[in-house]
Structure 1
Amino acid sequence: MELHQVLTIAGKECRDRIRNRWVLSVAVVFTVFALAIAYFGGAQQGTVGFRSIEFTIASLVSLVIYLIPLIALLLGFDAIVGERERGSLDLLLALPITRFELLLGKFLGLAAALTASTVAGFGLVAVVLATQISAGALYHYIGFMLSSVLLGLAFLSLAVMLSVFAADRTRASGLAIAAWFFFVLVFDLLVLGALVVTGGRYSGEVFPYLLLLNPADVFRVLNIFSLDDVRTLYGLASIVPPALGNPALMGAVMLAWIVTPLGIASWRFRSS
């Protein structure tokens, strides 16, 4: 693998997103929503203003689970199939570059754009809250930002995989939206339905590990379980075993969600 060729493709992808102001737009969206949630998240309890980093992160987790997967899927669904429809894929493959280098370069470029927008958006919120939070709270918030990046990369990897398998952009976009509905909305309903059907007999043995099959749930456990007050509030202490609350373990699971779809996409792309 030629690293220079991979970085060239990645740089072009990232510059394209910056030129069309995609990074700026997403960063602004993250900043506005995050500030609104941080200051008005307790309005339904009759309080307005910043309360604590624990409850701020808990509120932001709900925003991230819905927003970042959707943005990542829409960003990457046409990474390969779009080039194929425009007729530029054959031209790219005619150059001295392998299919894996092209795929990896595409992913890294899109990943850089997504990471920049996420860090910029939530980083601005950290600057605003810097005078109101302690160093320990800032540590938790930085961990939240890092896990948000990993969540976005996991769904971006899924999007690139769907782009390789799809026959055209229309089908790729449909698959991306379907993936968002499944992982963000449907998966938890299926798990809860299984618990009801089985009468909860296997809830303590199987349920926690089913969460590992969904990167959105891994992200939720990674952030909420590490905060004692919020963990008790959500009732996770009685459901999720302490082993799954290990940040290093859950981070490794998130990395697996990034690598595995990308590996499948590479295998399919090279065999097509």
Structure 2
Amino acid sequence: MNGALVIAGQELRAGLRNRWVLATTLLLGVLALSLTLLGSTPTGELGADPLAIVVVSLASLTIFLLPLIALLLSFDAVVGEAERGTLLLLLAYPLARWQVVLGKFTGHLAILLVATAFGYGAAGLALVIKDGRAAGLDWQAFGGLIGSATLLGAAFLALGMLVSVLVRERATAAGLAVGIWFALVLVYDAALLGVLVAGQNRLLSADLLDALLLINPADAFRLLNLTSAESARALSGMVGLGQTGRLPLWALLASLLGWTLLPLCLAVAALGRREP
């Protein structure tokens, strides 16, 4: 386990020195601040909880941006080492291969946590300064957003890690990473909506629709944040789904955890068979 922590620390230090990581962190912070300052403007007229509006806005931002950042962080974790000729040296150290995968994953997750805490923390602080109060706001939903965003990022980090172990060229890994983001974040929901519209709600039963939503980490994150709190359901227009949906909180969390653990286990198994 000490070896995994050493690798994680090395990845974290390298990531904090990386200008690309700094740029994405600043981008996440700027977008979060923009949504906070602009999105909470109409709360005075609507009488809505300004923090609930921020949660709904940031949830939409997270679904599109955080998985892409996670995949771009992890897609070259192993294949990049192989192309630079350092993978053989890394595997020559007295480390189990699962420690290599876990260490790199932990380091990248720490980087993602720093970016998320900076961006969303700045958004929460800006809202408190603008609104002039902290008490009475729905901080539980805000904390749930940060926690579930971490799980969503971990799921896509694990997918990027699996891709990095399976392929032999960095360009191939980059293409597959973008393809995974495009398929799970953009195409999946559009295809599901198309089936629902074409079949006029007769092709998919309620149970099947729940299952299809559950197997996509982006949808699990969306449901977790937009239907778990009453204020978020009202603002996102998902009141009916929140009242009638049969997906419990534990199932949504299990989906995100499953999308993290399964790719990591597959990556460990694949790296064990890979020749440097």
TM-score > 0.5 by shorter chain: yes
Is the Cα–Cα contact under 8 Å of residues 37 and 127 in structure 2 kept in the other structure? no
1:11-50 matches, cutoff 5 A: 11-41=9-39
Q: Is residue 172 from structure 1 mapped to residue 173 from structure 2 by the alignment? A: yes
Choose 180-189 or 232-241, whichever is displaced more.
232-241
User: 1:28 is paired with a residue of what secondary structure?
Assistant: helix
Q: CA separation in 2, counterparts of 1:133 and 1:30?
A: 23
- How far 1:119 moved relative to its partner? 1.1
CA distances 1:35-71 after superposition (whole Å, capped 9, x unpaired): 11112136799x8xx9622222111111111110111
**Equivalent residue in structure 1 for 2:220, among 215, 218, 221:** 218
Q: 1:132 to 1:243 in 2, by over 3 A?
A: farther
CA deviation map 1:216-253 (0-9, x unaligned): 1111100000132442454534446444252x432222
Q: How much is the aligned-residue C-alpha RMSD, in angstroms?
A: 2.5
Q: Which residue of 2 aligns with 1:260?
A: 262
Unaligned runs of 5+ residues in structure 2 are none
In structure 2, distance between residues paired with 1:36 and 1:181: 25
3-state DSSP of counterpart to 2:192: helix
Secondary structure, aligned partner of 1:206: helix
Q: Shift of residue 156 of structure 1?
A: 0.6
Matches within 5 A, 1:200-239: 200-201=201-202, 202-232=204-234, 234-239=236-241
What amino acid sits opposite 1:63 in the alignment? L
Show the counterpart of 2:154. Answer: 153
Check whether the contact 1:195–1:203 (CA below 8 A) recurs between aligned residues: no
Q: CA deviation at 1:22?
A: 4.8
Query: How far apart in 2 are the matches of 1:166 and 1:242?
Result: 39
Is 1:244 paired with 2:247? yes
* Greater shift in the superposed pair: 24-33 or 186-195: 24-33
**1:77 partnered with 2:75:** yes
Q: Report the Cα offset of residue 98 of structure 1.
A: 1.6
CA contact (8 A) 1:221 1:245 kept: no
Distance in 2 (alpha carbons) for counterparts of 1:229 and 1:127: 20
Secondary structure class of the residue paired with 1:151: helix
Structure 2 distance, partners of 1:62, 1:238, is 19
Equivalent in 74, 77, 84 of residue 86 of structure 1 = 84
Provide the TM-score with structure 2 as the length reference.
Answer: 0.88
Calculate percent identity across the aligned residue pairs: 40
When the two structures are superposed, what TM-score results if normalisation uses the length of structure 1? Answer: 0.90
Three-state SS of the structure 2 residue aligned to 1:78 is coil
Shift of 1:123: 1.2
CA contact (8 A) 1:31 1:125 kept: yes
Q: Which runs of 5+ in 1 are unaligned?
A: none
Count of aligned positions? 268
Superimposed CA distance per residue, residues 77-96 of structure 1 (whole angstroms, 9 cap, x where no aligned partner): 00000011111111111111
